[in-house]
Structure 1
Amino acid sequence: NVLDLPKTILAHCIHLNDEERKLLKNSEAWIVLNIESNIKNNVGNFSSARLGENIMFGTDGMHSDMLRSAKAVYFNSLRIDKTAPEKIYERLRNVSHYLYQNNLDGDGENNLVVLDYTSPTDLNQDNFLSHFIYGIESKHIQHVISNGKLIVKDRQLTTVNESDMLEFSMEMGNKLWKKLS
């Protein structure tokens, strides 16, 4: 049964009945919520009610900004099931749990994100989640250390040439559009 495999990822999961919710809650499978894609395509709203803890966020290829996705989930949930900021933060971090649980590359002990975030109010453990939801954005990421290696320094990737990558991506995108038309 695919639901018994801890590497199973189910995307969206927006049209579930009570029996399906129970199956997912009692399974090893993970749900990836792609809220902005759901909104864009007007396919329905996600409710985390009775689904358990194996929920993480995705982007469905719309972008790669997980902070943006987390905030979109939070604000959309205000209309649906009022997911608490603590749960949003937990689900953002769930991708690390998924990677670790399944012995997949991408998670490690030596990871750190350094933010350049100037707040108009104090930032402390009591109000961190408010800053996380309302203030901190990807533009505040200054440095990233992954598996002990500095991969973003002063907001620039250190492992690839971003200009070359963008140029190649544009070239491949143009080829794809020509083939599709």
Structure 2
Amino acid sequence: LPIHVHVAEGPEDQEHTFSLYDQRILERFHRAGLMIQNSLYAHCIHTTASERALIKDTKGYIVVNCQSNINNGVGFPEWKKFNDEGTNLLMGNDGYGFNLCHDARFMILCPHYVHRDPAASYSGDLTRSLFGSNYDLATSAFGVNLGTIREGSSADFIILNYRSPTEITAENFMDHFFFGICDNISVSDAFVAGERILAEGRPARIDEDVIYKEARRLFKAFEKRF
């Protein structure tokens, strides 16, 4: 089975491993035979190029979580370098909120600050992750074709409320996403395997009000125990 592990989010992770095993984290994983195809390596901020080459060679994925990294004060992943090295790169958020639009913004804007260069990254740099690696992994993990609208793919898609005063094309979609959709993302409908599960902003198969009422009741009991 593939592994899913956080790697070198902070420098102390490498220091601790090296002091005990005289090897860096991913070198140790590789020696133990853990690095197999479709494994997920979160963060990888304090890794070397040779370590990341092990991920590439074993067909794994690096998952960057930029908002979470900044919140924890551990540094910022040089994700463009990861891309240039040919490693499969995914965008995640490590549980820091639930709106990946914010993570997309952090991914694009933080390299401007780190490198003091507004041309260090732009919205198009996310295309390979959002419409490539993320869907490749999901397709492999769930055993259905995801991420494309064509015959043979699962009919999984969302419809966004987004009115644009300018034309939307394949070439400029990421700019629309970054500068328009992300500002106020609004999903009106969602389909899974062709079934409409969100209809005009409301769940189609469940009573949302009943679930929220029960959640508040359960939380009170949890709060007492906690």
Counting matched residue pairs gives 179
Query: Deviation of residue 90 (structure 1)?
Result: 2.5
Would you say the 8 A contact 1:151–1:159 is kept in 2? Answer: yes
Query: Deviation of residue 147 (structure 1)?
Result: 1.2
- Alignment partner of 1:89 is 2:134: no
Change (3 A) 1:160 1:90: farther
Q: Where does residue 34 of structure 2 map in the other structure?
A: 2
Change (3 A) 1:160 1:95: farther
- Distance, in Å, in 2 between the alignment partners of 1:174 and 1:61 is 22
Q: Where does residue 134 of structure 1 map in the other structure?
A: 179
Q: Greater relative contact order: 1 or 2 (C-alpha under 8 angstroms, separation 6 or more)?
A: 1
More displaced 10-residue stretch of structure 1: 79-88 or 93-102: 79-88
Structure number with bigger Rg: 2
Q: 2:61 aligned to 30, 38, 45, which one?
A: 30
| Same amino acid, percent of matched pairs | 22
In the alignment, structure 1 segments of 5+ residues that lack a partner are: none
Query: Deviation of residue 175 (structure 1)?
Result: 3.9
Q: Secondary structure of the residue that 1:152 maps to in structure 2?
A: strand
Task: Tell me how large the CA RMSD over aligned residues is.
Answer: 2.5
Query: Deviation of residue 17 (structure 1)?
Result: 1.8
Would you say the 8 A contact 1:112–1:144 is kept in 2? Answer: yes
Query: Deviation of residue 88 (structure 1)?
Result: 0.9
Q: Where does residue 111 of structure 1 map in the other structure?
A: 156
Change (3 A) 1:157 1:11: same
Change (3 A) 1:80 1:53: farther
Q: Where does residue 58 of structure 1 map in the other structure?
A: 92
More displaced 10-residue stretch of structure 1: 39-48 or 169-178: 169-178
- Distance, in Å, in 2 between the alignment partners of 1:56 and 1:116 is 25
What is the TM-score with the length of structure 1 in the denominator?
0.82
Change (3 A) 1:170 1:12: farther
What is the TM-score with the length of structure 2 in the denominator?
0.68
Query: Deviation of residue 131 (structure 1)?
Result: 0.7
- Distance, in Å, in 2 between the alignment partners of 1:2 and 1:97 is 21
- Alignment partner of 1:102 is 2:141: yes
Q: 2:70 aligned to 39, 56, 61, which one?
A: 39
Q: Where does residue 30 of structure 2 map in the other structure?
A: none
